[in-house]
Every structure is written in structure tokens, then in C-alpha cells.
Amino acid sequence: MTAANTPQPIDIKFNPNKCVLNKDTNELISKYTYENVVFDENNQLQTTSTNYQFKVDLSKPNKLGILLVGLGGNNGSTLFSTVKCLQNGISFHNGKFDTTKEPLYGSMTQCSTIKLGVDIQGNDIFVPFKDILPMADPANFVVSGWDINGANMAEAIERSQVLQYDLIQNLKPYLKSTVPMSSVYYPDFIALNQKNRANNICNLVENPQKWHDLQKIRNDIKTFKHENDLDQVIVLWTANTERCVDIIPGVNDTAENILAAIKANHEEIAPSNIFAIASILEGVPYINGSPQNTFVPGIIELAERENTLIAGDDFKTGQTKLKSVMMQFLVDAGIKPVSIASYNHLGNNDGKNLSSHAQFRSKEISKASVIDDCIDSNKILYPESELKEKDNHVDHCIVIKYLPAVGDSKVAMDEYYSELMLGGHNRISVHNVCEDSLLATPIIIDLLIMTEFFSRITYKKIVDGVETSEFNEFYPILTFLSYWLKAPLTRSGFKPINSLNRQRLALENFLRLLIGLPANNELRFEERLM
């Protein structure tokens, strides 16, 4: 292809009919009419429309502070190493090639595209996801965090055996000076096999002073922010899976009760509760990347009160992400899955911790819920009357085994057994080998980038042509992040959406409306109509 006919990069501009750029404040204000179809209590169809204004602060941060709970684990040390690769142009021998720039494959924000429109021939035009509007650059992350183990980051990445030997050797000079901050360790919440790992803790194991621990974590956040001259910090849990806590009236059901329970050293206050509350009280967004029920009602109420963003639960990486796609594919095709058998084994410390039943149960819950919205969407395949005959519409078996020899390469095997017409059956078997932390790390990057991005967006409603007095921030539970999470946390009264396509479409269309474009569609009248 000659230079003359080489396609030029798309210069993304906003629609001036729908957007206004305030150059003084560097803010983009867009208008959008949200239309929906609503069925009332009598199942009568109504179409509704609500007018909104959205305001985006276009000033992305020069530095974004990241605090990881579990910094020395496989995910934490891999993210830390990735940032050092990006910042220092570290090269490493990878088969036949020397790579000087780390390609962030697996990151939707960095390596995927969005359909912007069509050209004059009606052919689709795609642009990078990250170029629609200004987003944080992972090369500008400032990363630190906590860990119950005191190994420096060079020791941690070598212990994890995630990266290639050559890359680890090149990274070591940039890692060995960083040691995780001491963390919170309450032995009842993670597997007993983690006890020997816990040599970097800030609390008394036998008689923890949980209010003191909370103040220590709050102070760590403030110190990190001050010492690194940061405007924004995000805290993300990527530590061991905890057992689920019991929801107890008077203990963790309201904001005031859970704060009082911390002061009283109540046994059902988990380490993840401490980190979440510390972050919320410091006005710092908190993301739960593990399956435990960190966000008990009292913490959600506290986030609402402090107007601090939260999101969870559990990174959606390999097996479960594929399951959300497969289930939607089958149900949308009118095929009826009647059983799903999911087995996986892994050899990293996450697998070791999950070999304990209480911690496995947390993971089992998050993995199982991923098919629920597909089942609810089709009452032809899954009528309510069917539940009178059995407990669940789909027999869903989940097994996780710890097998040290495979290390971070998690092996997943799934079988989808479905009913067809005239008594026929369909069986789909999938064998999936995932490098666990190399799938999780780009997802962490996306969660951090999008959390920061959404923190720069405000909105107001326009009712009967009259604007509300001021712009508002998002509701604290950031459900737009559901694409990256197995068991999406939702606002009370709303069911979570697990369908990967619907989650992705929501993100695409929201970015489009912010620059004044209509929601995407695939009617393709340019092709189908005269």
C-alpha cells in the first residue's frame, strides 16, 4: 500500500450539536436523551425518555496512585513489574525476538477498539478504546501496597514464577528496593496454610485491636498520597480469598454499627472490611478483586454516606469469562443448557489458599452466579414451573484443586450439556489453559483506569426543560465495571448483569454519548436497504 492511499488515523472529535467544550475548565459537556421501554405493574408497555447532561473533566492525571492489598502476591508483583517495564523500557528475550515495549495484551482499554461509525462506502470504522477520551496511562501508575509477607518485590516476582527468567533478571534492579507495607492478618479469614507466610503484619494475632488497624491503614493511604504528591489514589484488593462473613444485625448491617463493631474487635470484622472502610473514609475508591462478601450492608451504607466509589467482586479472567459468553450463546440460540461441569486446578498461592473449604466456598458462589441472568432472560427454556421439580434450572458443578506442579498456569475444563429438539442433546467440552496472573493483571489495569475515568464524570437531569441545580457524581457502586468482575456488586433492588456482550455494549455506548454520538447499532441500513 502506498503512502498516498494509506488510511490516516481517525482524529476523534465530539459532535458540536450535542457537546460543548469549555476550554477554560477543560471540560466537555454533552446532552443525551435516555430512552427505555418500561412495563408497569399491569405489564402495560410504556416508552420513557429522560434528558441528561454529562460533564467530563478532560484533564487526566499525570500520576495515578495505586495501592494493592496483596502487593507481594502473583497478581500484585506482576502488575508492579509491568509498570516498571513500561516506565523503563525493559527488554527481554521472548523466543526469537527481543521486546522493548511491553504490549498489554488482555487489556480492553489498551488493546481493543470501538466502532465509531462507517465510512462513505458504509464500511465500519474502528478506533482505539483508549483514544475516545483522555484516560490514565498505566506507565504513569505509582504503585505500592500491603502484604502479610515481607519479601521485597524482586523476591516476590521470582517466587511467583509468572514471568520468564530473562525478564525477571532484567527487572530485579528496579524491584528489590520496594518492600510491602505491613498488612492486616486475622487468621480465621484465610486458610491455615497461609500462617507461615504471615511475617509482615501490623496487628496482634491473638488479640487484634481492629480500630487501631483501621487507623494504621488510613494513615498509610494519607502518607502514600502525600509522599508521592498524588491527586488521586485507588485501593484494590488482590490478596487471598477470605471466607465470607456472616451478616449480623447490630454488627455489620449499618454504617454506624460496623464502625462500632470495629472498635469492639468483633470477630466478624475481616481484613478486607478494614481496608474497604479505611479507603472509603479517606475518600479513595476501593475495588474488591476477590470473591468474599467484603461489601456488607454497613460498608455499602458508609460508601453512600461518604460518596466514595466502590466496585466488586472477583476478577473475571478465563474460565468464568468464557462461561458468560458460552451460556449467552447457547440460550440466545434457543438451546437449553441443563448442566455445566467446571473443573480447574492451579498451583499458585491462590490455589493453595482455596484448598481450604471456607475460602473455596467464597469462590464457588462468585463462579456459580455468572449464569443467573441468562437463565432469568428466557422463560421458554427455563419456566418457573420447572423449579417445582428440582432445586435449580441448571446442574452447575464447580471444582477447584490445588496442584503445585502447574504453578500459575491454571488448567480449566468445562462441559456444557444441553437439550435439543426431539430428545437430542449437545455436549460442548472446553479445555482452557490460562496463565492466571497474566490474564488478571491487564484486567486490574482496566479496572484502575476506568475507575479513575469515571471519577472525572458528573451528570445532571433535565426535567421539563429545567436543569437540576448542580452536577452530581455517580452512585457509589460503580456497576460500569461489571465487565471485569465475576459477581458484580449492584445497587439494592437491581439484579446483576453477567452477559459479557451487554456489559461491553454499555461501556461502548456510554463513551459514545459522552462525545455526542448516538448509541451503536447494527441495523446497517447502508447495506440492507435501497
Domains of the chain (ranges, CATH numbers): 12-59+458-474+506-514 (no CATH), 61-179 (3.40.50.720), 319-436 (3.30.360.10)
3-state SS, residue 242: coil
Q: What is the DSSP string of 383-443?
A: -GGGGGTSS-SSEEEEEEEE-GGGTTEEEEEEEEEEE-GGG-EEEEEEEEEEEHHHHHHHH
- Whole-structure pTM over 0.85, yes or no? yes
| Spatial separation of the C-alpha atoms in residues 162 and 348, rounded to whole Å | 9
Q: Active-site residue 195, yes or no?
A: no
The answer for 145, left when phi > 0, alpha when psi is -120 to 50, beta otherwise, is left
Instruction: Give pLDDT tens digits for 520-529.
Output: 888 888 888 8
Taking residues 410-431, what's their average pLDDT? 94
39-82 per-position pLDDT tens digit:
988 889 999 999 999 999 999 999 999 999 999 999 999 999 99
Model pLDDT for residues 238-267, shown as the tens digit of each residue: 999 999 999 999 999 999 999 999 999 999
Calculate mean pLDDT across residues 414-429.
Answer: 95
Beta-carbon contacts of 335 under 8 Å, excluding residues fewer than 6 positions away, are: 418, 419, 420, 426
One of 210, 321, 363, 367 is an active-site residue; which one?
363
55 classed as catalytic:
no
Residue 485, pLDDT > 90, answer yes
- Mean pLDDT over 90-109 rounds to 75
Catalytic-role residue among 55, 210, 216, 410: 410
pLDDT of residue 12: 66
For residues 440 and 438, give the distance between their C-alpha atoms in angstroms, rounded to a whole number.
6
Q: Per-residue confidence at 98, pLDDT binned at 50, 70, 90?
A: low
Q: Which residues pair with 336 in a beta bridge?
A: 419
Among candidate residues 220, 314, 350, 446, the one labeled active-site is 314
Residue identified by cell 530473562 is: 166
222 is annotated as an active-site residue: no
Share of the chain above pLDDT 90, in %: 67
Active-site residue flag, 486: yes
Residue 100 pLDDT exceeds 90? no
Q: Which of 84, 316, 321, 486 is catalytic?
A: 486
The DSSP symbol for 376 reads: H
Match 486490574 to its residue by C-alpha cell. Answer: 444
Whole-number Å distance between alpha carbons of 454 and 54: 11
